[in-house]
Amino acid sequence: MNDGFYKHPLPSPPAIDFVSEEGKQLFREAIENGTMEGFYKLISTFQTQSELCFCGLASLSIVLNALAIDPGRRWKGPWRWFDESMLRIYTNIEKVKGGGIVFGDLASLAGSAGAKVEFFYASENTIEDFRKYVIKCSSSDHCHIIASYYRSALKQIGGGHYSPIGGYHCKKDKILILDVARYKYPPHWVPLQDLWEGMNCIDECVGLSRG
C-alpha cells in the first residue's frame, strides 16, 4: 500500500545531505574552522515541526531552548520547556496552523518569549551583510539564526519555510540548514548564494522579502 509520502529525494545539486560522505567532510572542516559553534546546542534541542505550517514555531522553540531561556511556566508535569504549544500565549496558534506566520511576526514572537532579537529583511541588506552575520553567529554558541526562505530557490518542493542555520563552511561558502520538516528533507548543506536568493523572494502576504 502506497499511502502518502515518506520523505522526498533531496535535490542535489544544490543540496548536500548532512550524513553523506561529502556532508560529513564539510562538517569536519567547518568544525576545524570554528564555524559550527552553535550547532551543538541547536541539535541538543532539535525537534520536528508538529504541524505542516509550524516551521516557524518549531524553529523558534529550538532556538529558545538552545539559548536556555526559561519560559517561566510549566510545559508538562513539573517541566518548563518550549515547544510550539508553549508559544500559544504570544500568538494565535490556530491561525498559524492554518497559514503559517510571517517573518516580522515571528521576530516579535521571539522577543515576547524572552530572546534578544535582530531581524533583517533580505531586500534591505546585501549578501555580504548576510555572510558576515552567518560567520559571526556560527562562531558563537550564544547566537542563532532562523532563516525564512522559499524552497523553490533550492529546487525543493514546497513554498515559504523557516529553519535554523546550523553552521557555515567558509571555503565552500555553504550553509547547513537544520530543516524542521524532517519528514520531508534531512539536514543539508546548500550554497549561501542559493539560500540568499530564497530569502530575497517576496512574501505575497505582506509584500516584503523574507529574511
pLDDT (0 to 100) of residue 202: 87
Catalytic residue among 83, 137, 144, 161: 161
| Confidence label for 210 from pLDDT (cuts 50, 70 and 90) | very high
- Catalytic, 142? Answer no
pLDDT (0 to 100) of residue 1: 55
d(CA 20, CA 55): 24
d(CA 145, CA 129): 14
Domains of the chain: residue spans and CATH? 36-209 (3.90.70.30)
pLDDT in tens, 11-31: 999 999 999 999 999 999 999
pLDDT (0 to 100) of residue 204: 85
pTM score? 0.95
- Catalytic, 55? Answer yes
> How many other C-beta atoms can be found within 10 angstroms of the C-beta atom of residue 188?
26
Q: Where does the chain have alpha helices with state H?
A: 21-33, 39-44, 55-66, 93-99, 103-112, 127-138, 192-199
In the predicted model, what is the mean pLDDT of residues 74-102? Answer: 92
Asked if pLDDT for residue 154 goes beyond 70, the answer is yes
- Catalytic, 137? Answer no
pLDDT (0 to 100) of residue 185: 98
Report DSSP state, residue 90.
T
Catalytic residue among 83, 179, 194, 203: 179
